[in-house]
Amino acid sequence: MISRRAMLTAGASALAFPAAAQDSRSLKAIAAAKNFTFGTAAASYELKDADFTPILAREAAQLVPEYEMKRRALETRPGVYDFADLDTLFAYAARNRMTMRGHTLCWYYANPAWLAPMLAAKRDEKLLTDHIRTVLRRYRMDSVDVVNEALAPPGTATRADGFRPSIWLDAFGPGYIDMAFHAARAADPRVKLVYNDWGFEQGSADNDRFRSVTLRLLDGMLKRKTPIDALGIQGHLSAFGNKVDQRKLRAFLQEIRDRGLIILITELDVDDTGGSYDIAARDRAVADEARRFLDVALDNPATQAVLTWNLSDRYVDAPDEWKLKLLAWRLRKTPYDAQMRKKPLWDAMAQAFAGRRLHY
Ligand code: XIL
């Protein structure tokens, strides 16, 4: 039998290997060795790119649709669904032995144009719950964003409870959130039910307020026994703007864990707007900021997944056309560049993943 001491020594020597040489494993393998899932957002048209799909299949253990599950993409006319693009993503995931994450069942944004007037006129709960049931009955998923971004972003709240104005808030008041989670649980008893949002990571007073209204929302749900399994932390970071406050983030994640909730990092990317035109310097700053975030996020045993919001810069939303044309400027937010080469962000992620302390 291997002694505890020998195990610790083996662990220490593994860590002692310098990070200089790039880890030859995939991100999903490094993550799996540390008990969490690595995945990424992808859009169905990306699956036609033969430069990209081998990388996607190799690196990611989980996929989340970038657009295809948004209600505007699915329910083009009331009760009439077009599942074709979403089916393509699920079929790809199944072929490549990946799990799926759902995004998103209820959001203020990306709704079909017919929904707002109908909801305002009828205030019918079924306009929320029928959709949730339809999607969840069709697909098997590991987790799903039941409600996305119900809170006003840091610094923009106009209500004391922090809720973001939306068609759902107008129709039902804040109770729409519980309504959505109950409908989700009734439709699928197994999928992890997630509340997903952004603004948790930085240190400003506005972020402090955002963290506290989030805890109030979650506490209310837990007290009312609303079925919720996880908080989704989008993780849209900024290399040259508002930086991650590691101390505050650590304390906040601890609060989430103390409530018995799972933590999922759902949309990690690092905006490099505001950096110089020196690509190496931008890439370094992007990598450093992600590392500062991931070291804290992965140190919490409740963190069960990290997903990037796209795996390659080729598929990051195009910046302003004039920047692209005149300056060949392209956002460099993801682990692979537009030529499908690994970037310093890939290394930073691999190192943060490999360095996770396992809690037994
Ligand atoms: C974004 C897509 O990436 C964009 O292409 C689209 O124009 C808008 O939606 N938070 C979310 C995601 O929850 O759904 C958003 O995705 C990015 C911010």
pLDDT for the residue 127: 98
List, in sequence order, every beta strand (DSSP E) within 228-341: 230-233, 236-238, 262-271, 303-308
pLDDT for the residue 277: 84
- Going from the Cα of 317 to the center of ligand 1, the distance in angstroms, rounded, reads 9
Mutate to test the pocket of ligand 1, among 64, 66, 238 (most ligand atoms within 8 A of CB): 66
Structure tokens given for 330: 């392209």
CB of residue 269 inside a 6 A radius of ligand 1: no
Q: How far is Cα of residue 36 from the mean position of the Cα atoms in its chain?
A: 14
Helical packing angle, 126-138 and 115-122, nearest 10° = 130
List the residue whose alpha carbon is closest to atom 12 of ligand 1.
66
Q: Which amino acid is at 215?
A: L
Structure tokens given for 322: 């004039």
pLDDT for the residue 44: 96
CB of residue 148 inside a 6 A radius of ligand 1: yes
pLDDT for the residue 321: 66
Ligand 1: atom nearest CA of 41 is 3
Domain 22-354 has CATH 3.20.20.80: yes
Calpha distance 110→145 (Å, rounded) = 14
Q: How confident is the model over 145-164, as pLDDT tens digits?
A: 999 999 999 999 899 999 99
Measured between alpha carbons, how far is residue 79 from residues 76, 127, 135, 143, 167 in Å?
Answer: 8, 9, 12, 24, 18
pLDDT for the residue 12: 40
- Going from the Cα of 101 to the center of ligand 1, the distance in angstroms, rounded, reads 15
List the residue whose alpha carbon is closest to atom 4 of ligand 1.
317
pLDDT for the residue 338: 93
Ligand 1: atom nearest CA of 103 is 14
CB of residue 308 inside a 6 A radius of ligand 1: no
DSSP code of residue 336: B
- Going from the Cα of 198 to the center of ligand 1, the distance in angstroms, rounded, reads 12
Calpha distance 134→151 (Å, rounded) = 25
Residues of the chain with pLDDT below 70 are 1-21, 318-328, 360
pLDDT for the residue 145: 99
- Going from the Cα of 334 to the center of ligand 1, the distance in angstroms, rounded, reads 14
pLDDT for the residue 20: 52
DSSP count for the chain of H helices, then E strands: 14, 9
- Going from the Cα of 267 to the center of ligand 1, the distance in angstroms, rounded, reads 9
pTM over 0.85: yes
Q: For the chain, what is the largest distance between any 2 Cα atoms, rounded to a whole number of angstroms?
A: 70
pLDDT for the residue 7: 41
Calpha distance 65→42 (Å, rounded) = 5
